Chains A and B, each alone.
Chain A
Amino acid sequence: MQMDFKRLILAVVFAFSIILLWERWVQHNTPAAVPETAQSAAAADSSIPAPMASTEPGTTVPAGTAATLSAYAEAPRVTVRTDMMEAVVSAVGGDLIHVELTHHKDSEDHSKNFVVLQESGKHQYIANTGLLGAEGLPTHKTILEPEQTGYVLKDGENSLVVRLKAPASAGIEVTKLLTFYRGSYVVDVAYEINNTSDKPLNATAYFQLARDGQPAEHTKGFFGGVSTFTGPAFFTQEGKFQKVEFKKIENNETSFVKSAKDGWVAMVQHYFVSAWLPNGDVQREFYTHKISNDFYGAGVKLPVQVAAGAKQSIDVPLYVGPQEQDKLAKLATGFNKVVDYGLVTIFAEPLFWVLNMIHKIVGNWGWSIILVTILIKALFFPLSAASYKSMAKMKTLMPRMKALQERYKDDKMKLNQAMMELYKTEKVNPMGGCLPILVQMPVFIALYWVLLSVVEMRQAPWMFWITDLSVKDPYFILPLIMGATMFIQTKLNPTPPDPMQAKVMMIMPIMFTFMFLWFPSGLVLYWVVNNILSIAQQWYVTRMIERGEAKAAR
């Protein structure tokens, strides 16, 4: 038996160390890996989706002439600057190939902006669009003619429009428009189609997000193993929020609602998101596909019908920005779901709501974390209040308990049994029960996920040396305090009779301190506050019991 325990404990300790080491190693190795983007020059171009089933057959999909991403390097560019972002639109397809956010700074270099879309660099990540269904319609590879080479949103202006003209073709004129707004992460992307021919045009417009399969910023998870989701996601009333892993696209195993009259498509990463949010009650088709090695596309197709001699435009808003939840919810149904809490969403959403409310009052996320932790502890206090009350009654039983202790001096089990019977007959019980702790666990796990997932924590300061609650404490002060509080907790609990167990109890604070060293400091802060409150509660309870005993002894 003893041997078994020793082995078990050793195995667990080893497992933790291996997970931690492995994660460090993975983190060390991933950022350098730039995926290969060269496309096969095969006749069928996998970067262009097939037209919608509803459109007329017989339309030929243009063949790829060069690798999409390298084509951007040679083509003219249009630069756009607003109060929220700096963007680059390529003449190739009028695609959005670079978006950096001026209000969110780079994780490492705070003098640089955070880059979401980028055609080259750490990631390959673009938003491209096109039209299919008739000869001469521009796809995301057609070279368009920009009206200007640079735009700046001037003071007093609330929006600016980037126009690109498609090459002239028989009977159809197409212009692509990208409208940027002041104070907004939304870019309206539209096609204006002028059908000067004598035949109606039945076309399909596609709006897609193409990205490499590498996760964005690495985040430390609980026990080192968990990180947040990176990849495409869809939302429809029918399927609700559905994430699609890159691996599933690679293996052709995707399952999500592909045809609906509502919904949107997003590319989710930790803290940030980009998404096509088509308006209205229009039939649409969602798709994912592998474009080239480690390069995947997810998008939406919409029908465009233009009568002979008529003008028609199709417009889909594109969001590229942070996952600020109050903004997201207003843009599209279910858009706030991109903040990924995993299994504990049901607890996490109300928790964030409370956290956000407190933040609106105190104006600092660090203090908000502390207040929420106190609030939750207070909320669960009634669960322990019942046992405090019975503790007061306990003192009257002290003489009888002493007697029992005398009688069963050598048989701990019998003593326990007899004491439990005494508690029952006298209707007192100093213990809180197993259920309350089980109920509290998911709430604390949910708070953990909230602190890990929300962009509001990113580069948010607390006080003194903590300037960013989403990254590790630069001086490791909080983790060391955390270790100290855990050590105090071991001292407060009775030492286990088994010496091996006692040793493990002493090792645990050291292990946890080591694990918490690289955790986001917001999480460590929460853990520290929670531990301090637990210690205070336990100290109070112990004092109550001791007082009861002292009075009884008199």
Chain B
Amino acid sequence: MKTLFIGLLKFYRFAISPWLGNRCRFHPSCSAYAIEAIEKHGIIRGFRLAVWRVMRCHPWNDGGHDPVP
């Protein structure tokens, strides 16, 4: 399950992300953050962290360096 999620995220980073361009306001980028979060905290907590991160990644947020806790 964990491998599947990370596999999907890696596929996104590999094949889809280049099409959308570099658009994340944070470092590490949302997808890299999601992979790290799931690896570190497991699917449920990692997924929640990743969703929260994507929700914050919009033009009215300052962005910046925001590593996985």
Contacts and interface: CB of A to CB of B under 8 A. Distances in A.
B and A form one assembly = yes
Interface of A: 4-5, 8-9, 12, 383-384, 386-387, 416-417, 419-421, 423-424, 427, 429, 431-438, 489-490, 493-494, 496, 498, 501, 504-505, 508, 538
Nearest to A504: B15
The interface centre, meaning the residue of A4, A424, A490, A496 with most chain B CB atoms within 10 A of its CB, is: A424
B59 A493 contact: no
B46 to A, nearest CB: 16
B61 A433 contact: yes
A423 B26 CA distance: 10
Contact of B64 (A12, A421, A435, A504): A421
Given A433-B24, A433-B58, A424 B64 contact: yes
Contacts, number: 93
B21 interface: yes
B42 interface: no
B18 A505 contact: yes
A423 B63 contact: yes
Interface in B3-38: 7, 10-11, 14-15, 18-27, 29-30
Contact of B15 (A9, A417, A538): A9
Contact of A433 (B10, B19, B23, B64): B23
A426 to B, nearest CB: 9
27 contacts: A5-B14, A9-B14, A416-B27, A420-B27, A420-B63, A420-B64, A420-B65, A423-B63, A424-B63, A424-B65, A427-B62, A429-B63, A431-B23, A431-B25, A432-B25, A434-B25, A435-B55, A435-B57, A489-B19, A490-B18, A490-B19, A493-B18, A493-B19, A494-B22, A501-B18, A505-B18, A508-B19
Contact of B65 (A387, A417, A501): A417
A493 B21 contact: yes
A4 B3 CA distance: 12
Contacts of A538: 21
Given A421-B65, A434-B54, 7 more contacts: A8-B10, A386-B59, A420-B65, A424-B63, A427-B62, A434-B29, A434-B57
Pairs A-B, 9 closest by C-beta atoms: A424-B64, A386-B59, A420-B27, A434-B57, A433-B57, A435-B58, A434-B30, A433-B58, A431-B25
Query: Secondary structure of the A side of the interface?
Result: helix
A241 to B, nearest CB: 30
A297 to B, nearest CB: 42
A515 B59 CA distance: 34
A12 B11 CA distance: 9
B9 to A, nearest CB: 11
A538 B60 CA distance: 20
A6 to B, nearest CB: 10
Contact of A420 (B11, B23, B26, B61): B26
Contacts of B11: 8, 12
Nearest to A498: B14
Contacts of A417: 27, 65
B20 A437 contact: yes
Nearest to A426: B62
Interface string B46-59: 00000000111111
A495 B27 CA distance: 20
Contacts of A387: 59
Contact of A386 (B22, B29, B55, B60): B60
Contacts of A496: 18
Contacts of B62: 423-424, 427, 429
Contacts of A427: 62
Contacts of B65: 417, 420-421, 424
A383 B15 CA distance: 24
B54 to A, nearest CB: 5
A5 B18 contact: no
Contacts of A424: 62-65
Contact of A423 (B7, B18, B59, B64): B64
The interface centre, meaning the residue of B7, B23, B24 with most chain A CB atoms within 10 A of its CB, is: B23
A475 B43 CA distance: 48
A302 to B, nearest CB: 50
Contacts of B63: 420, 423-424, 429, 431, 433
Given A416-B27, A429-B25, A489-B19, A383 B59 contact: yes
